[in-house]
């Protein structure tokens, strides 16, 4: 029987994951299809029930559902539990296991960025959404001793810091208000800067002005493209990297969890490039706006192209991005 793996999000029409996962299944002789399921939040419990069927191998989960999936699965891995977010589901019979492969994806990208240097101990994180949760947990488990989180809506950063309370008890994890002067003074004390906001995903906007980026930082943008932010940081003398490796390695980890096989990384990377050249704008997540049509709950798209996983809600279930109340 051909097995099914689905990406559940809202919207998902342009997801990059389909391109790399279907190619990996085909290359490794795994008889499976990767489908895109656009499901509004209200339809999520039914989608989860359907996943328990024998024809399903597992799923990917994307915004706005990563946090909402936590209580719907039967067991969480340590990373999913710690981050409070699920991006991959595997099966044990009819039981659903929730994983978070964004964490190893981020750690791989960070290791590459740091290279042969000693792992730094101090980081600034911009953003407090699902991606930022994986980033903060990845930094904590890499041994960082000081992490400062800035977010447009301070309360969301504060909730995230509170969520990590026990995990971060041995170190300094703080949320601070998004003021340029505060960001500037904190950047002077940090070695790593991560943009995990979606600013710059669909236009040339940048989260912070070029003038306040000091030289010699290690700078990572989760967005899978050369953003203005990365260009500014490079011009300032920083070492920079985009979100490609994180995307690739979260996908590779998921592939291995579903199939038990090592992922064909080169092929998956090539497929990501091709998909991006085919007109894709985002790596993993694209702000939902009025322009995004919301397909009906039962609608399913079979396919392997593009990206476009929607920003839509915070961990607390409140609208963000284009749907933001402000
Ligand atoms: P969320 O919707 O959960 O969070 C979005 C974040 O961006 C929030 O911190 C939000 O702030 C902030 N933000 C959005 N618009 C603005 C704005 N105009 N001004 C200030 N802040 C803003 O999304 P995710 O965390 O899942 O994704 C964030 C980014 O990371 C996306 O670009 C996504 O593509 C990328 N990503 C990449 C991955 C990869 O594998 N490379 C993996 C996961 C994410 P607020 O809370 O105040 O609304």
pLDDT tens for 85-97 read 999 999 999 999 9
Residue to mutate (ligand 1; options 311, 312, 318; most atoms within 8 A of CB): 311
Q: What is the pLDDT of residues 138-183, one digit of tens each?
A: 999 999 999 999 999 999 999 999 999 999 999 999 999 999 999 9
Q: What is the pLDDT of residues 236-268, one digit of tens each?
A: 999 999 999 999 999 999 999 999 999 999 999
User: Is the confidence at residue 312, as pLDDT, over 70?
Assistant: no
- Please identify, by atom number, the ligand 1 atom nearest to the C-alpha of residue 157: 46
In short, whether 196's Cβ falls inside 6 Å of ligand 1 is yes
Span from the CA of 241 to the centroid of ligand 1 (angstroms): 17
Name the DSSP letter for residue 322: G
Question: Could you tell me which of 208, 198, 276, 207 has the C-alpha nearest to residue 244?
Answer: 276
Give the position of tokens 């791989």.
108
Task: State the Cα–Cα distance between residues 76 and 89, nearest whole angstrom.
Answer: 9
Which residue is closest in CA terms to ligand 1's atom 3? Answer: 129
In short, whether 128's Cβ falls inside 6 Å of ligand 1 is yes
Which residue is closest in CA terms to ligand 1's atom 27? Answer: 131
pLDDT score of 280:
54
User: Is the confidence at residue 291, as pLDDT, over 70?
Assistant: no
Q: In sequence order, what are the residues at sequence separation of 6 or more whose Cβ sits closer than 8 angstroms to the Cβ of residue 86? A: 61, 66, 69, 70, 73, 76, 80, 98, 99, 100
Q: Using a pLDDT cut of 70, give the percent of the chain over it.
A: 85
Phi then psi dihedrals of residue 319, to 5 deg: -60, 145
User: Is the confidence at residue 278, as pLDDT, over 70?
Assistant: yes
Task: State the Cα–Cα distance between residues 106 and 149, nearest whole angstrom.
Answer: 16
């Amino acid at each position: 029987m051909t097995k099914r793996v689905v990406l559940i999000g809202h919207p998902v029409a342009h997801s990059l994951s389909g391109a790399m996962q279907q190619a990996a299944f085909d290359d490794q002789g795994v008889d499976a299809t990767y489908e895109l399921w656009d499901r509004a939040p209200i339809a999520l419990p039914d989608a989860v029930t359907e996943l328990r069927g024998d024809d399903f191998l597992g799923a990917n989960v994307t915004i706005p559902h990563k946090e909402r999936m936590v209580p719907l699965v039967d067991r969480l891995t340590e990373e999913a539990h710690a981050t409070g977010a699920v991006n991959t589901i595997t099966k044990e019979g009819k039981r659903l296991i929730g994983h978070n492969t964004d964490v190893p994806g981020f750690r791989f990208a960070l290791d590459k960025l740091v290279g042969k240097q000693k792992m730094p101990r101090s980081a600034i994180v911009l953003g407090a959404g699902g991606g930022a949760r994986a980033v903060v947990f990845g930094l904590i488990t890499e041994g960082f001793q000081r992490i400062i989180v800035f977010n447009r809506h301070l309360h969301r950063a504060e909730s995230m810091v509170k969520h990590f309370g026990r995990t971060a008890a041995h170190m300094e994890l703080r949320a601070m208000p998004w003021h340029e002067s505060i960001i500037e003074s904190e950047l002077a004390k940090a070695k790593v800067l991560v943009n995990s906001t979606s600013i710059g995903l669909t236009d040339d906007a940048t989260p912070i002005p070029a003038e306040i980026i000091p030289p010699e930082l290690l700078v990572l943008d989760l967005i899978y493209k050369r953003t203005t932010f990365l260009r500014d940081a490079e011009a300032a003398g920083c070492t920079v990297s985009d979100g490609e490796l994180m995307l690739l390695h979260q996908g590779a980890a998921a592939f291995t969890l579903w199939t038990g096989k090592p992922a064909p990384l080169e092929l998956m990377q090539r497929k990501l490039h091709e998909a991006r050249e085919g007109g894709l704008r985002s790596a993993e997540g694209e702000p939902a706006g009025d322009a995004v049509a919301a397909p009906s709950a039962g609608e399913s798209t079979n396919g392997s192209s593009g990206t476009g996983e929607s920003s839509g809600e915070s961990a607390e279930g409140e609208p963000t991005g284009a749907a933001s109340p402000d």
